[in-house]
Chain A
């Protein structure tokens, strides 16, 4: 069992757990993820490692309530424990001194972007971060991202805070400004990563995205997480999750994420009923 040492409700529907997982913490690197399972009946779901502390032996995850498993997870309190916490999985993010890197975070993506931005900054890059959310009340980790960036731009879809609009607006302006941008890292919902990639493509700036297909084992054993990159089938859990956004087949990823919509609704309803009872 893996114990929840700290719990923080970042914004409505998005929560942070600091977990006791010394072995995972000892090996974690930016860009990697864990697979968690709450209990005997639970599904295995992947969540990005948002932070870790080797000395403390802790690993932090940040998750958004979107369905049955994340809703069940959100009910757990500090001191509770979950059955499984497997990791660190996936290939770590590529870190090098590229020059200037723009990190784009959409929604819950603010959490997984943070360790990557920090590692890139430590490697000597100038970091410009664009943090986007639907509205002010869904914005979190502005301070954390500010701490690892040379410049932070915040957008909200409804203009309730920062610039009004979506993240691709400032991204395009930065690319057009003539300042040299050597790399873009975009993490968030599929549509957001897709449009970031479409925005950077005409400028020829390498754009790394972190793909989030449905997974089961996370170790290359099932092929559930197959994505198509540059016309080739890859297993996101072992070949990724990071890929070149200009080469990703976005339609396929979006379609494969919808495989279980009916079952997901059914599971959520079941959970709501049993939870109400």
Chain B
């Protein structure tokens, strides 16, 4: 047997000093040579451990083999047969805890860089195959059934793609003016270029799914009206878009944003191009971001790029508990984001014009483990101190928007506002209604939302064929 090659090929990235000042993509992608070299490391295991780690079961060894054979169209075909959004997943999947974690070579601490290769294949297709040629295989015979998909995030797009491929008539209803969900309004351009998201949305449309934008289900038509209007089934993929706040003094001061608002202004409305684009965003000099997840890292890194001098992450636990992807924490540190760990805001202080000028915080220490198994942060008495700030972004997490549940008869929800659905099939307790993605699980990952969309599509198909 050939000797194992344990040298993972690094992916080039923009210089941290430069990239802190622009919104261009941070990671630059493999060159064809680098992709060949990395693909060459894969030992094509008989027992496909990597596939087991992917929530949508991409045939990883096969697409890697196609790269090695230099057959890029084949690599594209294999990838896209399981994953309609490879350009996105290759960029934002937490591979370290999914496919790359279970890769056989992970034991040697050199898993194949599956995400980077996936991204390479998707980017090759975008660069080399004209739109028309990349259009999918011939349309299947229409089933005569109609399915409504509510929400165009990764869950909805995946369900729509699979249902369209199976011949069902699919209409996606999206509340915002563009499709893509969090991929468009949340995750910033420098991590996931919007052009790529739109290319993949177009791919889903090219499969035959119709996309109705500006359609707030629950206001425009209710779920029950959609069903009464001739749809045979509905998939709910409306995500978890309701921002949570700390509920402490001063939180409504000017200059305090929810991460959703800040990121929506910057990403969806392109406020980083103000005044060329009409939507403004405040550019603070000293910005505090409260929270430690991907959303907090993205907010902090956007604030830096807009021109802040100091950006702090205020997080109540310690570094090991940061829920954000390791890679993004490192990127943030490299760019100069300052981490104020074991720190929690007590209240925000304002001036006479109602602008925030300070975040009064407690120092925290870690106590006994809580329900989540992580050690509970507890306040150190008398430890209050003030951080001078002129902007605060609250990135504590989100819950499902109650709009649909509150206007629909017979949907079951939990006390967190999530919709109850079968884990395997996505079926809700309501007749003809399936749900999946963040609306069911609360905020998780792009790929788990896609996995849920896929399982629901299979279950809907089974039901429709009855």
Contact = CB atoms under 8 A, between A and B. Distances in A.
Interface of A: 23-24, 27, 37, 41-44, 68-69, 72, 83-89, 216-217, 219-224, 226, 228, 233, 238, 251-252, 255-256, 258-260, 263-264, 266-267, 270
B278 A89 contact: no
Nearest to A68: B278
Contacts of B251: 233
Nearest to A267: B275
A259 B390 CA distance: 12
A84 B403 CA distance: 21
Interface string B366-391: 00000000000000000000000000
B241 interface: yes
Contacts of A228: 252
B254 A42 contact: no
Contacts of A23: 215, 220-221
B258 A266 contact: no
Most central of A44, A72, A223, A270 by chain B CB within 10 Å? A223
Among B242, B275, B277: residue with most chain A CB under 10 A: B275
3 smallest beta-carbon distances between A and B, as pairs: A263-B280, A255-B354, A222-B261
B23 interface: no
B275 A222 contact: no
B213 interface: yes
Contacts of B214: 84-86
Given A41-B277, A266-B275, A267-B275, A223 B282 contact: no
12 contacts: A27-B220, A44-B269, A72-B278, A85-B214, A219-B175, A220-B241, A220-B242, A224-B261, A233-B247, A233-B251, A259-B254, A260-B282
B243 interface: yes
Contact of B252 (A43, A87, A217, A233): A233
Contacts of B252: 226, 228, 233, 252, 256
Interface string B111-129: 0000000000000000000
Given A223-B258, A228-B252, A263 B242 contact: no
Residue from A43, A228, A252 whose CB has the most chain B CB atoms within 10 Å: A43
Majority secondary structure, A binding face = mixed
A35 to B, nearest CB: 9
B279 interface: yes
Nearest to B258: A223
A220 B403 contact: yes
Contacts of B403: 219-220, 238
Contact of A222 (B175, B219, B243, B402): B243
Nearest to A89: B219
Contacts of A27: 219-221
Contacts of A252: 252, 354
A216 B245 contact: no
A24 B265 contact: no
Interface in B248-271: 251-252, 254-255, 257-258, 260-261, 264-265, 269-270
A50 B77 CA distance: 52
Contacts of A255: 254, 353-354
B177 A263 contact: no
Given A222-B243, A238-B403, A267-B280, A216 B261 contact: yes
A223 B258 CA distance: 6
B78 interface: no
A236 to B, nearest CB: 12
Nearest to A67: B278
A221 B274 contact: no
B352 to A, nearest CB: 10
Contacts of B274: 263, 267
Nearest to A24: B220
